């Protein structure tokens, strides 16, 4: 049986259904990310697990504990759930020292002074904050503040860690560093992570599995590699990295990009066309080669040098396809025609 279970949970705000009948099973020690654009319901889901939001349908269990159940009208308040949680805006308390911030959850549990000191010190050590124990968290950088928040969440040695966009307020290079620190701490302590983010590379780098959400629904739950290589829908494809969607229309046996007379020189799966005769050929700019044996032909509208890569805008029919190649590989100049070869084509219904 899975460790964290969300069974058919629904949350409504007025007329809006923020999360719609979501069922989710997460294993002990797993790092599970919820990825999606803002308003997709990922944060609401996390807050329901934390206990800050009621649930309108379904139940939430962790291990053998029932946390929330609509049917039984049961709701365990957040302070009794014993989770660690880290928020986007740090949420460290400015009127307490770093040490006191971290000792706070321990003090609430009536531990002995010695134990509080040793466990706080341990949490400080694990987050490289030993030297900063007595200063105000306001004197720390963004990364430092977020470490305090992490240490505070760690102090109780929780089984479940809830992370709500914990790295979004940090600058990019720090974000990367903290990502690895979180991963290292997880390896060391073995807690499960529920991670909310809108940054796909963050989710990819950290997670064992990723759930891509859209408007309260699950689009795909899978490993990072499968999310990237086998996106279940056009939405998932578009959400993970740069994407081209070439609209094509089936006329007779030929499949043509709109506004073009040349057929796409690629076999299209029959089922994507469905009722309408239109479909979408999805590709990533870095997964297209130039060559005379290309699947479509186009005209180079723009060529932009970006250092490591060169960015091309290619007009195909009445659409534009982006191609990105390393600066080392040769490519056509502006105004030239060229063939485009899709190395990893994906087809989706229109």
Min separation Cβ 304 and another protein, Å: 5
**Is residue 230 a contact residue for another protein (CB under 8 A)?**
no
Min separation Cβ 52 and another protein, Å: 6
Distance of CA 31 to the CA centre of its chain: 12
**Which neighbouring-strand residues pair with 65?**
62
**Is residue 16 a contact residue for another protein (CB under 8 A)?**
no
**Site for another protein (CB under 8 A): which residue of 23, 65, 108, 190?**
108
Between residues 190 and 334, which has the closer beta carbon with respect to another protein?
334
Distance of CA 266 to the CA centre of its chain: 32
List, as one string, the DSSP characters of 264-308: PSSPPPGGGT-SSSEEEEEE-GGGEEE-TT-SEEEEEEEEEE-SS
**Measuring CA to CA, how many Å separate 301 from each of 166, 278, 291, 331?**
41, 25, 17, 13
Residues 309 to 348: which contact another protein by CB under 8 A? 311, 326-328, 343-344
Between residues 251 and 302, which has the closer beta carbon with respect to another protein?
302
Instruction: Answer for the pair 92, 149: CB distance below 8 angstroms, yes or no.
Output: yes
Min separation Cβ 204 and another protein, Å: 5
Q: Per-residue string for binding with another protein, 121-160, x by CB under 8 A?
A: -----------------x----------x--xx--x----
Written in H, E and C, the secondary structure of 81-123 is CCCEEECCCCCCCCCCCHHHHHHHHHHCCCCCHHHHHHHHHHH
User: By the criterion CB under 8 A, which residues form the site for another protein?
Assistant: 43, 47, 50-52, 77-85, 87-89, 91, 93-95, 104-105, 108-109, 138, 149, 152-153, 156, 162, 165, 179-180, 200-201, 204-205, 224-225, 228-229, 240-242, 284, 286-287, 302, 304-308, 311, 326-328, 343-344
């Amino acid at each position: 049986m899975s460790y964290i279970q969300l069974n058919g949970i629904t949350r409504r705000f007025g007329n809006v259904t923020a999360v719609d009948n979501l069922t989710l099973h997460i294993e002990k020690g797993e790092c599970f990310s919820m990825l999606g654009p803002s308003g997709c319901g990922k944060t609401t889901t996390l807050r329901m697990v934390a206990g800050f939001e009621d649930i309108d349908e379904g139940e939430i269990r962790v291990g053998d504990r029932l946390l929330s159940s609509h049917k039984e009208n049961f709701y365990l308040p957040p302070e009794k759930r014993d989770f660690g949680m880290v928020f986007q805006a740090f949420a460290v308390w400015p009127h307490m020292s770093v040490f006191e911030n971290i000792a706070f959850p321990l003090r609430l549990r009536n531990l002995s002074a010695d134990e509080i000191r040793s466990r706080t010190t341990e949490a400080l050590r694990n987050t490289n904050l030993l030297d900063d124990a007595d200063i105000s968290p306001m004197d720390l950088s963004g990364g430092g503040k977020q470490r305090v928040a992490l240490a505070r969440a760690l102090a109780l040695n929780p089984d479940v860690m809830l992370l709500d966009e914990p790295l979004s307020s940090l600058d990019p290079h720090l974000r990367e560093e903290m990502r690895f620190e979180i991963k290292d701490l997880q390896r060391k302590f073995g807690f499960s992570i529920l991670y909310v983010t809108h940054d796909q590379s963050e989710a990819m780098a950290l997670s064992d599995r990723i759930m891509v959400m859209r408007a309260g629904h699950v689009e795909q739950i899978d490993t990072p590699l499968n999310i990237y290589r086998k996106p279940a829908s056009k939405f998932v494809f578009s959400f993970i990295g740069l994407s081209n969607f070439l609209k094509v229309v089936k006329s007779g046996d030929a499949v043509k990009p709109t506004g073009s007379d040349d057929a796409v020189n690629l076999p299209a799966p029959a089922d994507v066309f469905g009722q309408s005769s239109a479909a979408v050929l999805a590709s990533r700019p870095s997964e297209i080669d130039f060559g005379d044996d290309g699947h479509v032909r186009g005209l180079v509208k723009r060529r932009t040098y970006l250092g490591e890569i060169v960015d091309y805008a290619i007009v195909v029919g009445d659409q534009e396809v982006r191609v990105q190649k390393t600066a080392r590989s040769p490519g056509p100049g502006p105004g030239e025609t060229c063939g485009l070869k899709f190395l990893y084509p994906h087809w989706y219904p229109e």
